[in-house]
Amino acid sequence: MLSYWEKESFINYDYVIIGSGIVGLSTAISLKERQPTVRVLVLERGILPTGASTKNAGFACFGSLTELLADIEILGSEKTLELVNERWQGLQKLRSRIGDEALDYHGFGGYELIRKAELPYIEQIDKVNELLKPIFKDPVFSLVNKKSKAFGFNQKEIKALIFNKYEGQIHTGKMMRSLLAIAQQMGIEILTGAEVISFDDSSTRVSVQVKNTVTQQPVEFKCGKLAICTNAFTNQLVPNLDITPGRGIVLVTKPVPNLPFKGVFHIDKGYYYFRNEGNRVILGGGRNLDFEGENTAEFKINERIETELKRQLKEIILPDVPFEVDHVWAGIMAFGANKAPIYKAHSEKVFLGVRLGGMGVAIGSRMGEKLAEKML
């Protein structure tokens, strides 16, 4: 039961966004940038953004060599180039909107560790560099094998090292706090703990039903247009989309004295990834060890994957270097038949910006910008 005051002041909006992750906040901000006087409401079911926006490893990247070659096999060269361009534009939008200092951005570059099985991919460096030339003008990937020893990696396992000067790293927490601050300064309203049960777009305005834990009677919000930016959880609202949740396990070490490397690093077609965070190491991945088990939206730690991450730290990344794991967590990403995001109108008044393929940091700001343009 709502009061007259609540119905007058809290229920009606021009735009409602479901999801307060990177895409949701970027969409809301882009709407207000273009139409400063509109009322925009963001609904978030968790206390914090639920999914991967606050749980990723903080990579500002657009795909390693082996990842892009895998994308070319599935999408073809033209579509892969389009996808890289969207990711790159998204990263530039994120940096310009927040600023490198607020993001704690560092352009140390990115590296891919090549084992014996991946050596044939090196022969295709020139091919991929040529493909990416319209975006970057200069070659993206180059061999820097001598750095592998300087970085302290296991030389028996790592046969080559590929460098990408265009990759960087961010502080994920600072990124999300900055996006929230920008949204609030612009007058965007954000409600957390607001779980959307359903929506109805059959009338002149969209009705959005939100669970009310106090009265057990849902609160009905009204808006002109609705954006659904719930990534891995979208099928709960819009069934039968090609979206499969993919859990990602991430761990961070305690500070390692004299850590010998800086930058972001990829292993095994991007299924493993690590970076420095100051003198700590953040390492994630291993979903390929148990695809079936990790195709879940449940926030739990797969012990088999955690064990493998620690093994790789001990045997490949920090051999003969003592370390302690400080914290382990899980995030939920969204995947499909390919890595192209779902970005479309679901109806005249409802729009989707979902399935980021584990590249939310890169593509999220660009998707929000495009989604706002489509809604307007």
4-54+174-241+338-375 is classed CATH 1.20.140.10: no
Could you identify the residue written with the tokens 């302690």? 324
Domain boundaries, the chain: 4-54+174-241+338-375
User: How far is Cα 17 from Cα 224, in angstroms, rounded to an integer?
Assistant: 11
- What tens digit of pLDDT does each residue of 133-159 get? 999 999 999 999 999 999 999 999 999
Please give the pLDDT value at position 215.
86
DSSP summary character for residue 267: E
Nearest to 204 by CA among 368, 347, 372, 311: 347
**Dihedral angle sign, alpha carbons of residues 323, 361, 304, 148:** negative
pLDDT of 277 over the 90 cut: yes
Could you identify the residue written with the tokens 């593509």? 363
- Residue 209's pLDDT band (boundaries 50, 70, 90)? very high
pLDDT of 51 over the 90 cut: no
User: How far is Cα 231 from Cα 44, in angstroms, rounded to an integer?
Assistant: 13
**φ, ψ dihedrals at 99, nearest 5°:** 95, 140
- What tens digit of pLDDT does each residue of 340-369 get? 899 999 999 999 999 999 999 999 999 999
Burial of residue 22 (CB within 10 Å: 0-12, 13-18, 19+) is buried
Q: Tell me the CA distances in angstroms from 279 to 55, 99, 255, 261, 275, one per residue in order.
A: 19, 23, 5, 9, 10
For the segment 117-128, the average pLDDT, to the nearest whole number, is 96
Please give the pLDDT value at position 99.
98
Global pTM?
0.96
Q: Tell me the CA distances in angstroms from 264 to 77, 112, 209, 295, one per residue in order.
A: 25, 9, 42, 25
Q: Tell me the CA distances in angstroms from 234 to 58, 78, 291, 362, one per residue in order.
A: 23, 28, 20, 20
Nearest to 95 by CA among 374, 373, 371, 364: 364
Please give the pLDDT value at position 1.
79
For the segment 231-257, the average pLDDT, to the nearest whole number, is 96
Rg (CA), the chain: 21
Q: State the CB neighbour count (10 A cutoff) for residue 235.
A: 17
- In this prediction, what percent of the chain has a pLDDT beyond 90? 95
User: How far is Cα 374 from Cα 376, in angstroms, rounded to an integer?
Assistant: 5
- Residue 213's pLDDT band (boundaries 50, 70, 90)? confident
Lowest mean pLDDT of 213-217, 274-278, 301-305, name the range: 213-217
Please give the pLDDT value at position 49.
85
| DSSP assignment string, 285-332 | E-GGG-HHHHSS------HHHHHHHHHHIIIIISTT----EEEEEEEE
User: How far is Cα 275 from Cα 62, in angstroms, rounded to an integer?
Assistant: 15
